[in-house]
């Protein structure tokens, strides 16, 4: 059960890494645009915060598998913990197969159907990313999708990891893990909501008050 951060903000990633609870990072072109910096520099800084067991997903943007592979090699040369993200398209799947054959980890992203996940697994993907929030936006049950993928991956001993993405709230996190996701990638503001609870705050206030009175 792993937790990734879904952001390209190096300062935020550095801060949350201090918890020791973060196993990796996912980025995408939109998240890169939000920070407005050179992606190669950003990837270099993020990947240096983690050891070689971590996974830092970086998306290639190109029309052909050939061009995706050229970009992938550039990113992968930065650090071994960089995972290449490709879209679940014909060219993306071709690139996935070729990169996987060269032992480069690939995350097939923008997964909205069971059939997409099967092709991505066949293409040797290390990760597939079903987009839970966007499924919900389009009346697709993303949690059922994860359950179906989990069932068939288990039946066929498929080692591709299910990485639940497009997480908008804490219920998406718990439901994704319950449905069998291996990893959930979480926006920083949703991570904040994971540990907070009003009853924890109330209980702590009382404990602190009682402790002070005892030690008067
Ligand atoms: O992990 C994918 C994510 O960044 C997309 O999230 O909220 O734009 O659908 P969202």
Is the CB of residue 81 below 6 angstroms from any atom belonging to ligand 1?
no
Instruction: Give the closest residue (by CA) to ligand 1 atom 9.
Output: 166
Characterize 142-163 residue by residue with b for buried, 16 or more Cβ atoms within 10 angstroms of its Cβ, and e for exposed.
bbebbbbbbeebeeeebebbbb
Number of domains in the chain: 1
Q: Which ligand 1 atom minimizes the distance to the CA of 30?
A: 4
15, 85, 97, 196: the active-site residue: 85
Q: Give the distance (Å) from ligand 1 centre to CA of residue 135.
A: 11
Q: Which atom of ligand 1 is nearest to the CA of 168?
A: 7
CA of 199 relative to ligand 1 center, distance in Å: 30
Cα 175 to Cα 199: distance, rounded to the nearest angstrom: 22
Q: What's the predicted TM-score (pTM) here? A: 0.96
Residue 85 annotated as catalytic: yes
Percent of the chain with pLDDT over 90: 100
**Average pLDDT, stretch 22-50?**
97
Give, in order, the Cα–Cα distances in Å from 55 to each of 22, 181, 208.
Answer: 10, 16, 40
Residues 95, 86 contacting (CB under 8 angstroms): yes
Residue 176's domain comprises 2-214
Ligand 1 atom closest to 129 (CA): 1
Per-residue pLDDT tens digits for 62-81? 999 999 999 999 999 999 99
210 by DSSP, 3-state: which? Answer: helix
CA of 13 to the centre of ligand 1 (A): 17
Question: Per-residue pLDDT averaged across 173-194, rounded?
Answer: 98
117-147 pLDDT, tens digit each = 999 999 999 999 999 999 999 999 999 999 9
CATH of residue 16: 3.20.20.70
Q: How confident is the model at residue 155 (pLDDT cuts 50, 70, 90)?
A: very high
């Amino acid at each position: 059960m792993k937790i990734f951060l879904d952001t390209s903000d190096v300062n935020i990633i550095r801060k949350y890494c201090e918890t020791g609870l973060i196993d990796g990072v996912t980025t995408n072109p939109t998240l890169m645009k939000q920070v407005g910096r050179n992606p190669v520099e950003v990837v270099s800084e993020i990947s240096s915060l983690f050891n070689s067991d971590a996974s830092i997903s970086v998306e290639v943007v190109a029309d052909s598998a050939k061009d995706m592979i050229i970009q992938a090699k550039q990113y992968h040369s930065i650090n071994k913990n960089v995972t290449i993200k490709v879209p679940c398209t014909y060219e993306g799947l071709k690139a996935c197969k070729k990169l996987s054959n060269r032992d480069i980890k690939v995350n097939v992203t923008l997964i909205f159907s069971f059939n997409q996940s099967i092709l991505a697994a066949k293409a040797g993907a290390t990760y597939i990313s079903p987009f839970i929030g966007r499924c919900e936006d389009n009346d697709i049950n993303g949690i059922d999708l994860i359950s179906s993928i989990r069932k068939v991956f288990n039946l066929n001993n498929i080692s591709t990891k299910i990485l639940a993405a497009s997480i908008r709230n804490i219920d998406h996190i718990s439901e994704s893990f319950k449905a069998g996701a291996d990893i959930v990638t979480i926006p920083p503001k949703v991570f904040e909501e994971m540990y907070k609870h009003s009853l924890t705050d109330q209980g702590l206030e009382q404990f602190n008050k009682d402790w002070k009175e005892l030690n008067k």
